[in-house]
Structure 1
Amino acid sequence: MLHIENLTLHYGQSQILNGVNIAAEAGQVCCLMGTNGVGKTSLLKAIAGTHPRSGGSMTFAGEALPVLPAHKLAQKGIGYVPQGREIFPLMTVQENLETGFACLPKSEHRVPDEIFELFPVLKEMKNRRGGDLSGGQQQQLAIGRALIMKPKLLLLDEPTEGIQPNIIQQIGRVIAYLRDQGGMAILLVEQYFDFGYDLADSIYVMKRGRMEVSGAKRNLAKPDLMKVLSV
């Protein structure tokens, strides 16, 4: 679904990503790990188009893509749940979900029942303002909003950050469900090691803007990965 080769990214004169290669397959979870500041969020921003890459190639669903703005990539099927969630605090839950309609034809402007089945709290609170929700509820709203646009690739940036354990478990079940449907690739950035490792089909570890480790999970032992992450 996604294939990136030799991607570079700069903030001004500072190079953040250097020669990054990564692939994400439909029906699989690709987990990207690494300590703070190594470039994980920057990579997701480059894929989603919220910060343009400086160089390298990106192929999505078989199409070689030039550098495009975020709304064009969203229309092509790239859904992005950013770190910090970025829901609209003064809009209701229903209105937040409806912002996902922007990528869909008018005939599909409805919130599918599946969203409320995956996240029942959103149905209970659909008339509440987004800013009145707890952190865990806002995270569920942010994921639900991304799913409205029926993405082929779902980018999740630290979905467990600051979330209570029961909501983490629910989000894990939703990610596993979406993976098992087979039509979506999921690229998960995660620092909660066990959560990411348990869900992953493939794992990448970043250090200083480069990929240090990459491969199928079956070929990457947990102790070895933890050692790399701790150095």
Structure 2
Amino acid sequence: MIEAENVTLHYGGSQILHGVSLSAEPGKVTCVMGNNGVGKTSLMNLLAGRHPRSGGELRLMGERLGRVTAQEMARRGVGYVPQGRAIFPMLSVRENLETGFGCLPRGARRVPDEIFDSFPVLAEMAHRRGGDLSGGQQQQLAIARALVIRPKVLIMDEPTEGIQPNIIAQIGRVIASLRDAGEMAVVLVEQYFDFAWDLGDSFALMERGEVVMQGTPGTLGRDQMHARLANLAA
């Protein structure tokens, strides 16, 4: 479980997050939604240790965290799939996957077979350079690289962005499988409403650095949630 309570975040003199609270539990997908520029990626960077919070509390598996780095969060079991994938184009697929080994004890430094079961194309292209893969294949590689560390929390920022429908469906099946295994908390930032709604166990809708609507599908209602998003986009 990862929990943020009343967190704030600044970039220089600009405040980006204003008292945001969010929790993600094992066996559930927590979806963060909202238009571009409302602070979703900034919140993910904070949760992953890529940018220090200005205030509030961050807890991982019940432990209150001080100032942490991205590397420390990865060692603690937080996997991150950034927006834009951020793979290493000159490294092979296997070498990209092996970049996660630095967060693991020496005896655990291997790529789990389940990753290739989930993304067979990566096994087929293990020796191809990451930059030679299609956008959808690169997204699969970015997700697989995060899974190499056997995360307790998986943060995914816009995994369907610019991806063809068949790969979106495959990514959805992988997320559902990870959720149903019951051991991993998934935090999903997503603009594609139907994809998020089908997977999400809880939702947080952001606007201008704040969570303005939060709850489960049962308490929010599909039409109400969709209408609120449409109004924000208008």
TM-score (norm: length of structure 2): 0.98
Question: Which residue does 1:70 correspond to in 2?
Answer: 70
The Cα of 1:150 is off from its aligned counterpart by: 0.5
Q: CA RMSD in A?
A: 0.6
Work out the number of aligned pairs and report it.
231
CA distance in 2, matches of 1:55, 1:78: 20
Question: Which residue does 1:127 correspond to in 2?
Answer: 127
CA distance in 1, matches of 2:198, 2:215: 15
- What is the SS of the residue equivalent to 2:89? coil
CA distance in 2, matches of 1:88, 1:77: 21
The Cα of 1:185 is off from its aligned counterpart by: 0.1
CA distance in 1, matches of 2:150, 2:212: 32
- What is the SS of the residue equivalent to 1:87? coil
Please give the per-residue CA displacement for 1:121-149, whole angstroms capped at 9, x wherever unaligned. 00000000000000000000000000000
CA distance in 1, matches of 2:123, 2:113: 9
The Cα of 1:51 is off from its aligned counterpart by: 1.1
CA distance in 2, matches of 1:61, 1:190: 24
Identical pairs, percent: 61
Q: Which runs of 5+ in 1 are unaligned?
A: none
Q: Which runs of 5+ in 2 are unaligned?
A: none
Question: Which residue does 2:140 correspond to in 1?
Answer: 140
The Cα of 1:226 is off from its aligned counterpart by: 1.3
CA distance in 1, matches of 2:152, 2:108: 16
2:174 is the counterpart of 1:174: yes
2:27 is the counterpart of 1:21: no
CA distance in 2, matches of 1:4, 1:125: 38
Please give the per-residue CA displacement for 1:177-203, whole angstroms capped at 9, x wherever unaligned. 000010000000000000001100001
Question: Which residue does 1:183 correspond to in 2?
Answer: 183
Question: Which residue does 1:97 correspond to in 2?
Answer: 97
The Cα of 1:211 is off from its aligned counterpart by: 0.4
Question: Which residue does 1:88 correspond to in 2?
Answer: 88
CA distance in 1, matches of 2:68, 2:109: 25
CA distance in 1, matches of 2:62, 2:226: 34
TM-score (norm: length of structure 1): 0.99
Runs of 4+ in 1 over 6 A off after TM superposition: none
Amino acid at match of 2:4: I
CA distance in 2, matches of 1:196, 1:226: 11
Amino acid at match of 2:163: I
CA distance in 1, matches of 2:138, 2:166: 14
